[in-house]
A and B are shown apart, each in its own frame.
Chain A
């Protein structure tokens, strides 16, 4: 049963079919929410809210990229969570739990990661997460979708409701800002992640 069949069944009210879609996209959705929101509890809330909202409005889905349609809902849920966090500032970034079986999307891993490499990568992740937290929400969402989730400009534009030109601009500013942040933190990064080593 392919994705379209699950979507069609879910539009008919088949919750089991919708849950198949949830299983297919929950990692992506949670990862995006986590990167945008910076901590697990809010990311869980945003992910759950996004799937509930998607199920409620799945009849409004009119074709196209289901992933982009779903990410649009996720980003809106993240914005809602950010508004909540602005009203009620909570604790800082919590320690990120890394899934050893699910490495970073861009990471090419021919060999298993050693414990030291795993720890260094976790440290890198925490540094990046702190840098993401310095970005405005729009730039953060754009950078997460483009560089972490690996979406194209068109998909990012569809997910954020912006045009491609805006996506380019936001992504450029986001990368520049994050680069500046990382360069200030370079000495704290593991040696293999430093710019001069790159």
Chain B
């Protein structure tokens, strides 16, 4: 038989054939021919009818079975942050890096300029008249035999033998002690703080016994160290407007002996206070902090990526 229907003469085989198709029959999955033959068999077979009923009962029970409760949500966990919000934008890192490089290059350039200025400008500032400096150097040594550490701790009470004079620029005449008289002994013998003009580095002592010549006033190293024990030296100093200069300018005590002395033309105080903040120094500091800031920012942004 084309549809596989067993021979009706073989009742056992027919029951098996029907039993195998009852499930599909319930679900209406049999073709019309099979369905007709199965229904024909069911009309005459109480056993297969009971089997069909029990099968329907089973399916009905299964469909009535309660559904288990969902124990939890099964959504997949999202990342802590989406890549677009977690990662720093590429252009941000690039800008920070560019700013770091620019700041570094500028810092390098400024430091280079500063160094060149100090080297060249050091000569220029401390010795606008190099010949004068060279001429004074031996005297300076003689005047200040222990210049190195003594000048470091120089105070307004500095002893006369430590008098040093290295003003790169002429000091504006400020009369601090009208009673001081010439010879340089007053300033050196009674070194009083009130005679001292103290800057951040030290004090500078200047004893002026005679009007300074215009040339001397134009020269940064005009000041003279007057030393009481060495009158000759003091005399030499006062006679030489070119004055004496030492390599260590920290201690300067001004003692103007002539209140009526002609005022010297004022000059920038660049060299008179070595720690004075110059524009280059400001630029160096600023660029340094810029470089550090943008460098740290670059690293931070890079890590966030």
Which residues does A use to contact B, with CB under 8 Å?
15-16, 18-19, 22-23, 26-27, 29-31, 34, 40, 43-44, 47-48, 51-52, 55, 96-99, 102-107, 121-122, 124-125, 128-129, 143, 146-148, 150, 153, 168-169, 171-172, 175-176, 178-179, 182-183, 193, 195, 198
Given contacts A31-B68, A195-B54, contact A107 B62 (CB under 8 A): no
B66 located at the interface, meaning its Cβ lies under 8 Å from any Cβ of chain A in the complex = yes
Contact in complex: A107, B55 (CB < 8 Å): no
Interface centre among B21, B62, B63, B72 (most CB of A within 10 A): B62
- Which of A30, A51, A99, A178 is in CB contact (< 8 Å) with B62? A178
B71 located at the interface, meaning its Cβ lies under 8 Å from any Cβ of chain A in the complex = yes
- Which of A18, A102, A143, A172 is in CB contact (< 8 Å) with B20? A172
B67 located at the interface, meaning its Cβ lies under 8 Å from any Cβ of chain A in the complex = yes
Q: What B residues does A179 contact at CB under 8 A?
A: 54-55, 57-58
Name which residue of chain B comes closest to A105, CB basis.
B63
Q: What B residues does A121 contact at CB under 8 A?
A: 64-66
Query: CA A153 – CA B24 in complex, angstroms?
Result: 10
Q: What A residues does B79 contact at CB under 8 A?
A: 15
Given contacts A26-B73, A55-B76, contact A103 B62 (CB under 8 A): no
- Which of A40, A43, A107, A168 is in CB contact (< 8 Å) with B63? A107
Name which residue of chain A comes closest to B79, CB basis.
A15
Closest CB-CB distance, B215 to chain A, in whole Å? 84
Contact in complex: B68, A96 (CB < 8 Å): yes
Chain B 69-96, CB-CB to A under 8 Å as 1, else 0, gives 1111111101100000000000000000
Contact in complex: A128, B61 (CB < 8 Å): yes
Contact in complex: B65, A128 (CB < 8 Å): yes
Query: CA A171 – CA B65 in complex, angstroms?
Result: 17
Given contacts A153-B29, A175-B55, contact A105 B71 (CB under 8 A): no
- Apart from A19-B75, A44-B72, A171-B23, 10 more pairs, CB < 8 Å: A22-B74, A26-B73, A31-B67, A97-B69, A98-B68, A102-B69, A105-B67, A128-B62, A143-B62, A195-B54
Which residues does B use to contact A, with CB under 8 Å?
19-24, 27, 29, 53-55, 57-76, 78-79
Contact in complex: A99, B70 (CB < 8 Å): yes
Contact in complex: B60, A47 (CB < 8 Å): no
Contact in complex: A48, B68 (CB < 8 Å): no
Closest CB-CB distance, B54 to chain A, in whole Å? 5
Given contacts A106-B60, A178-B58, A179-B58, contact A44 B71 (CB under 8 A): yes
Q: What A residues does B72 contact at CB under 8 A?
A: 44
Q: What B residues does A129 contact at CB under 8 A?
A: 65
Given contacts A172-B24, A198-B57, contact A51 B76 (CB under 8 A): yes
- Which of B23, B29, B64 is in CB contact (< 8 Å) with A176? B23
Q: What B residues does A16 contact at CB under 8 A?
A: 78
Query: CA A178 – CA B55 in complex, angstroms?
Result: 9
Given contacts A104-B63, A105-B63, contact A176 B78 (CB under 8 A): no
- Which of B21, B54, B64, B73 is in CB contact (< 8 Å) with A107? B64
Query: CA A198 – CA B57 in complex, angstroms?
Result: 7
Query: CA A107 – CA B24 in complex, angstroms?
Result: 21
